[in-house]
Amino acid sequence: MSRKSALPPRPVRRFPAGVLRAAAVALMGASMGLALWHAAAWPFWQGAVLGACTGACVPGWFVLSRQRRQQTQARDTAARRQETTALLLHDFETQSDAWSWAADRDGRLTHAAERMARELGVATPQALLGESLLRLLRFGEGGPSLAMQQGFRDRSDPQMPPDLVWLMGCLAGQTPFRGVEVQVRSPVRRALWWSISGVPVHDEIGLHVGWRGVVRDVTKLHEQSSALERLAHTDTLTGLANRHMLQSRAEETAKALLQTSEATDEEALSPLSLYLLDLDNFKSVNDHFGHLVGDRLLQEVARRLQDCVDESPYGGVLARLGGDEFALLIEQPMHTVEREALALAMLATLREPWTPEDLCIEVRASLGVAAWSGPAHTASLLLQQADIALYEAKAAGRDLVRLFDAAMGERMVERHLVIHELGLALQAAQRTLERPDLPEAPAPSGRLSVFYQPQYDLGDGRLTGFEALVRWRHPVRGWISPAQFIPVAEETGLVVALGEWVLRQACTEVMRWPGAFKIGVNLSGVQLASRQIVRTVATVLSETGLPPHRLELEVTETSLLADPAAARTRMQALRSLGIRLGLDDFGTGYSSLAYLRTYPINTLKIDRSFVVSLAEGPQGAQADMILRTIVQLGRGLGMKTLAEGVETPEQADTLRRHGCEQVQGYLYARPVPAEEVPALLRAGQGLAA
Ligand code: C2E
Ligand code: CA
Ligand code: CA
């Protein structure tokens, strides 16, 4: 609406028209009378009077008629302007999201738009006239129309929204207001938001006579911004809170606790607990059944966990942090036992098989829990600790709960040290392999080397080969077992570079020894999963000149199971290089031999646990039988069998009786450094026993 059209038309300055008209008629009458009476002999002065009267009369007519014209024009303009204003106002009120309002000095409506009436559930705008604007807004519950019908029975709301309080203040203080947002409970639309602006109207002498203003419907804007806000705090897949929401909530609570609480000891009540849950088998569900089923599984998990939280007396904020990781933040005091009991209940609720359509999916999860223990405890530390506890739960075998404790923290520090120092040790080892001519540099992170454990033929006692086993000697910590650092290297991916170094080192060293032994090198599942592996092996073979049939790569059953199809393809590509493949730790996984025959495997390495169980009472008899079956089946499938960890002559006898072809173990030889191998070879290549 233009500012100009809102102003009243400017008044036209004018003479009193009646006086002018009377004077003109009188003058004309007088001059005509005189003219008739004395027409014959007029003295000069009479003629002059007549001339003057007539002379005055003519401009009088002119002035008069011009004023008339101006008046008519002004009236027309005002009417047109009013019409335009009304049209504009109508357009404005019907086509935009805003409409005007006017009220008297007490805030009672003197003008209301149709739109306003419609949205308030009132038949016509006229019905709103005389109603207090504030009361209409305030008594929205059940719709203002209902409140009007009931005569605004006073239901004073102790919790008036702050914007409405502000509006009340402005109306009472006669101060202009702009964009005051109030929620109107309309019977027509569920949640209605109006942004109201208004200015006080004063008369000529400055007295406050009323209000004039605009209402804008900002419902859509509100809906959009609250949807955005919801989105920023919600995980769209499950409807749970997201990581951002959980973190900020934990931070807020920890900050509040910092100001109010003191340190709590292990057994005391802790006011804040954080649970981190990770599904154990989500990746395989995704791989086997596809992402759609994976997504539905996550929704199912969210639903079950939410039920569990709803049933617990502690409540809490349940969130999905991303992927298959969930978290629960509890801001109620809990004892350690209670904390653990809830964690176990959460795992139990997931164990119930999930049966969408004709599928049956077993869900398992691991849980790490941490509790706030005092002012030094920040939210991020709490998250870190729950994460460490979760890591330990997974490492301990999954489907388990672990509560964070100090020892866990120390182990984690140790782990980080391993990651850091192993990397440095590997760099030094790679340098030495590339430039053996350079003097060895000091090694503050220790030295890596490869040890070799001989393998023998049980039939004729011949030395058939060696297994290459990596060793790490640290200046402070001494010998660190590969069983300790290989899993860490697998987690960080360092095992790819480490494995390549072991392979190159082993192939290089083996080529220096007399004889044509087989060399077994362990291949981690992470290496097998890497696309580079076939090229790496081919390069190492050509660089070192080792004939491919002398290399046997050992893979474990678990590394095949992660991605069976990809593993099979890669193994076939490796076999096409002419190398051999061994299946390590056989018997510790769950696959049947019939299943494993689909992989191009040359040697079955029977796990040490079977060998140890031999000749141990009734269990020994069972192990005996299993072993015999494995050997027979292996032979049937054209695979060689090699038993690991043979420590006693009795074990060796049993293995020989069952037809196992090769052995490796402390009974014959421990793994030895490369320098000792030539002596071992000179001493005789046959079985020591
Ligand atoms: P593994 O492949 O099963 O290696 C056999 C392990 O059994 C070796 O332990 C070896 O020293 C040990 N051993 C051999 N004979 C006997 C015995 O008679 N009794 C007992 N109690 N143990 C025996 P090590 O060298 O500590 O290696 C442990 C594991 O670390 C290996 O198990 C293998 O999984 C992994 N590993 C070792 N070197 C490498 C490597 O270069 N790359 C990869 N990816 N993993 C490796
Ligand atoms: Ca092995
Ligand atoms: Ca093994």
Which range (118-122, 297-301, 450-454) has the least confidence?
Answer: 118-122
CATH code (residue 598): 3.20.20.450
Per-residue tokens: 204: 């000529």
If we measure between CA atoms, which residue out of 307, 350, 318, 298 comes closest to residue 240? 318
**Is the Cβ atom of 210 under 6 angstroms away from ligand 1?**
no
101 and 174 both lie in a single domain: yes
Residue 243 lies in a domain: yes
Q: Both 627 and 483 in a single domain?
A: yes
User: Do the beta carbons of residue 196 and residue 136 sit within 8 Å?
Assistant: no
What's the mean per-residue pLDDT of the chain?
Answer: 85
108 plus 165 within the same structural domain: yes
* 22 is a domain residue: no
Boundary (domain end) residue, out of 195, 223, 251: 223
Tell me the pLDDT band of 1, cut-offs 50, 70 and 90.
very low
Tokens of 484: 């300790």
The rounded Å distance from CA 520 to ligand 2 centre is 7
Q: Are residues 154 and 274 in the same domain?
A: no
On whether both 497 and 361 belong to a single domain, the answer is: no
Per the structure, the count of domains in the chain is 3
CA of 469 to the centre of ligand 1 (A): 6
3-class secondary structure for 93-110? HHHCCEEEEEEECCCEEE
Residue 160 sits in a domain whose CATH number is 3.30.450.20
Does residue 354 belong to any structural domain of this protein? Answer: yes
Residue 87 lies in a domain: no
Distance (Å, whole) CA 114 – CA 149: 19
The least confident of 58-67, 201-210, 602-611, 615-624 is: 615-624
Strands (E), 255-304: 273-279
**Domain stops at, among 378, 404, 430:** 404
CATH number at residue 387: 3.30.70.270
pLDDT of residue 683: 77
* Residues 280-339 pLDDT 10s: 989 989 988 999 999 999 999 999 999 999 999 999 999 999 999 999 999 999 999 999
Look up tokens 């019907």; give the residue: 94
Measure the CA–CA gap between 228 and 38, rounded to whole angstroms: 100
Residue 617 has pLDDT above 70, yes or no: no
627 C-beta closer than 6 A to ligand 1 = no
The top-scoring range by mean pLDDT among 255-264, 520-529, 629-638 is 520-529
- What pLDDT sits at residue 155? 47
Residue-range definition of the domain harbouring residue 98: 92-223
299 and 206 within one domain = no
- Same domain membership, residue 273 and residue 216: no
Report how far residue 451's alpha carbon sits from residue 151's, in angstroms, rounded to the nearest whole number.
Answer: 96
Q: Are residues 219 and 239 in the same domain?
A: no
Could you tell me if 389 and 368 are in contact, meaning their C-beta atoms sit under 8 angstroms apart?
Answer: yes
Domain annotation covers residue 629: yes
CA distances from 553 to 128, 488, 605 (A): 88, 21, 12
Instruction: HSE, CB side, 13 Å, CA atoms: give it for residue 273.
Output: 28
Distances in Å between the Cα of 237 and the Cα atoms of 158, 233, 305, 306, 342 are 38, 12, 15, 14, 25
pLDDT at residue 61 is higher than 90: no
The confidence score (pLDDT) of residue 93 equals 65
In this structure, is residue 31 part of a structural domain?
no
- Residue 37: the pLDDT is 66
Query: DSSP state, 125?
Result: G
Q: Quick check: 14 pLDDT over 60?
A: no
**Ramachandran assignment for 397, one of left (phi > 0), alpha (psi -120 to 50 degrees), beta (any other):** left
Taking CA atoms only, the protein residue closest to ligand 1 atom 37 is 469
User: Tokens 């809906």, residue?
Assistant: 223
Cα separation of the two ends of the chain:
108
**For a pocket test of ligand 1, which of 426, 456, 469, 500 has the largest count of ligand atoms closer than 8 A to its C-beta?**
469
Q: Which atom of ligand 1 is nearest to the CA of 671?
A: 11
Q: Lowest-confidence range among 91-95, 311-315, 551-555, 567-571?
A: 91-95
Predicted pLDDT at 452: 98
Does residue 413 lie within any of the structural domains?
Answer: no
Predicted local distance difference test score (pLDDT) of residue 11: 47
Length of the chain: 689
Return the minimum-mean-pLDDT range out of 98-102, 266-270, 310-314. 266-270
Residue 388 Cβ contacting ligand 1 at under 6 Å: no
CA dihedral 297, 301, 307, 311 (to 10 degrees): 160
Q: How far apart are CA 224 and CA 230, in angstroms?
A: 10
Is 626 found in the same domain as 541? yes
Q: What is the edge-to-edge ordering of all strands in the sheet holding 192-202? A: 109-111, 98-104, 208-217, 192-202, 177-184
Question: 204 and 243 share a domain?
Answer: no
Task: Report the share of the chain in percent with pLDDT over 70.
Answer: 83
- 362-387 tens-digit pLDDT: 989 999 999 998 877 888 889 999 99
Q: In the prediction, which pLDDT does 689 show?
A: 43
Tokens 């502690």 belong to which residue? 314
Is 457 a residue whose pLDDT tops 50?
Answer: yes
Residues 610 and 468 in one domain: yes
C-alpha 481/C-alpha 671 separation (Å) is 13
**Most confident stretch, 36-45, 466-475, 605-614, 676-685:** 466-475
Residue 502 Cα to ligand 2 middle (Å): 13
Q: Which atom of ligand 1 is nearest to the CA of 489?
A: 44
Question: Do residues 620 and 604 touch, judged by C-beta distance below 8 A?
Answer: no
Look at residue 376 in the predicted model and tell me its pLDDT.
72
Q: Would the CB of 582 count as within 6 Å of ligand 1?
A: no
Residues 107 and 238 in one domain: no
* DSSP secondary structure of 423-473: HHHHHHHHHHHH-TTSPPPP-TT-EEEEEEEEEEETTT-BEEEEEEEEEEE
Instruction: Choose between 524 and 622: higher pLDDT.
Output: 524
Q: Which of 164, 192, 223 is the last residue of a domain?
A: 223
DSSP state of 587: T
Distances (CA, A) of 490 to 313, 425, 485, 487, 496: 41, 16, 9, 5, 8
In a domain, 9, yes or no: no
* Phi then psi dihedrals of residue 175, to 5 deg: -105, 145
Q: Is 553 in the pocket of ligand 1 (CB under 6 A)?
A: no
